[in-house]
Structure 1
């Protein structure tokens, strides 16, 4: 193997570790968040971290389907965050 391949593999492993730690920290904030707003932001951050993990998995395996799946999850995450925040603020989602 070449130096570039070894460096890429080590970088991917480091990225997996860093994003996984960020996911765990978001989960802790979700559990002990002092307010509902903190919990909403923690859920949104967990969606972003999950997207990062999916993209890293796609890079590691060289499969393009993961990138399309990450786009769908991003759209669903955005809509669910907006709906949950609206429910918390107004008591209903649809006026």
Structure 2
């Protein structure tokens, strides 16, 4: 059973807003029933050199930020998402938060 992983607050400190990353949105269903469950935003930080994709529930209105605006995450957790493959399954780890707010 997959469980959420909680990091120290310092792991998500000093983040800057980069923009919306629509290609990484989380969706459920297929073709006609396809629904976006979480919107993805790209953040940069000193501990996340390649950037950090953060998923926010689609019903939450995230304030529009300028690029490089310092932000912080509200209740961030790392979740595992299992995907079936030919030889078993693959686990992808994603960051999910309740919201992104100014730092």
TM-score normalized by structure 2? 0.22
- Higher relative helix content: 1
Higher Rg of the two aligned structures: 1
Give 1 or 2: higher strand fraction.
2
Instruction: Say which structure, 1 or 2, has more relative contact order (CA 8 Å, 6+ apart).
Output: 2
TM-score normalized by the length of structure 1: 0.24
